[in-house]
Amino acid sequence: MATSAKKTKCPMCKNSALGRAQNRAYPFCSPRCQMLDLGAWFDESYRVPERGGGNGRSSSSEGQEPGEGEH
Ligand SMILES: [Zn+2]
């Protein structure tokens, strides 16, 4: 067989991507798709702690219930 060029599917844009040997952005089709994927999870990981960090209601309800009953 003479199939030396392996092709993969880019998980970002679903286009055919070149194999690892010829593709620096493997398994993505291009560095651009690789950056897009990185940016996607970077954006998410930065947004989650910023949105839920402010009230701290879970810690106040947990510390009041067991202490108020005995005091
Ligand atoms: Zn792609």
**How many angstroms is it from 13 CA to the middle of ligand 1?**
4
Q: Assess if residue 68 is contained within a domain.
A: no
The residue range of the domain holding 39 is: 7-50
CATH number at residue 36: 3.30.50.10
Least Cα distance to 9 among 17, 21, 18 occurs for 17
Tell whether the model's pLDDT for residue 71 goes beyond 90.
no
Residue 66 Cα to ligand 1 midpoint, Å, equals: 54
pTM of the complete model beyond 0.85: no
Give the pLDDT confidence of 45-59 residue by residue, as tens digits: 666 555 555 555 555
d(CA 31, CA 25): 5
Place of tokens 């092709």: 7
Q: How far is the CA of 63 from the centre of ligand 1 (A)?
A: 49
Tokens found for residue 13: 């844009």
Output the CA 8–ligand 1 centroid distance in Å. Answer: 10
Residue 33: how many other CB atoms lie within 10 Å: 19
* Alpha helices (H) in 1-71, listed in sequence order: 31-52, 57-68
Question: How many Å lie between the centroid of ligand 1 and the Cα of residue 41?
Answer: 16
